[in-house]
């Protein structure tokens, strides 16, 4: 834990969570619930309300509020390539996806724990039959992983 009176002590986190959802509420609730457990959150919100929680994704590579819900696999690969050797990303051991849960598809190549909680409309951003079917298959893959 970080002790302000001794600046040489660096915070130690057992869990670092990454999220970049389009809703500030669900992650805010999780942060509150886990506040006492020394969990670090990297919250790069794509929500238009992110200014309320000071979590706006001002330095997020590749994804932004315009393309973050994209089904474009090229964009997902670009995100992975941009972050696979990133110092901050390499500290992450958990991704949480709420709104939309389809955001977890972009995190699948990192091979880390994915927590998927449909806060509303689980099909959000996956409206065509093809995209919805792919999302369903990816959710089965995620659920079958013991992590």
Per-residue confidence (pLDDT) for residue 3, from 0 to 100: 45
120 located within any domain: yes
75 located within any domain: yes
10 located within any domain: no
109 located within any domain: yes
**In the predicted model, is pLDDT for residue 4 greater than 90?**
no
Q: How many domains does the chain have?
A: 1
The distance of Cα 55 from the centroid of its chain, to the nearest Å, equals: 13
67 located within any domain: yes
pLDDT tens profile 26-80: 999 999 999 889 899 999 999 999 999 999 999 999 999 999 888 888 999 999 9
**In the predicted model, is pLDDT for residue 10 greater than 80?**
no
The whole model's pTM is what? 0.86
5 located within any domain: no
| Closest by CA position to 55, among listed 22, 77, 81 | 22
84 located within any domain: yes
Domain interval for residue 103: 15-144
38 located within any domain: yes
């Amino acid at each position: 834990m970080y002790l302000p009176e001794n600046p040489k002590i660096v915070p130690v986190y057992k869990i670092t969570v990454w999220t970049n959802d389009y809703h500030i509420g669900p992650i805010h609730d999780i942060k509150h619930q886990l506040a006492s457990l020394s969990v670090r959150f990297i919250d790069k919100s794509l929500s238009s309300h992110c200014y309320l929680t000071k979590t706006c994704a001002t330095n997020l590579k590749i994804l932004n509020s315009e393309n973050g819900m994209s089904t474009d696999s090229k964009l997902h690969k670009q995100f992975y390539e941009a972050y696979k050797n990133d110092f901050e990303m390499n500290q992450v051991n958990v991704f949480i996806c709420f709104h939309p849960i389809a955001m977890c598809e972009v995190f699948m190549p990192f091979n880390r724990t994915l927590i998927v909680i449909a806060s509303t409309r689980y099909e959000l951003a996956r409206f065509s039959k093809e995209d919805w079917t792919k999302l369903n298959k990816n959710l089965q893959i995620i659920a079958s992983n013991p992590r």
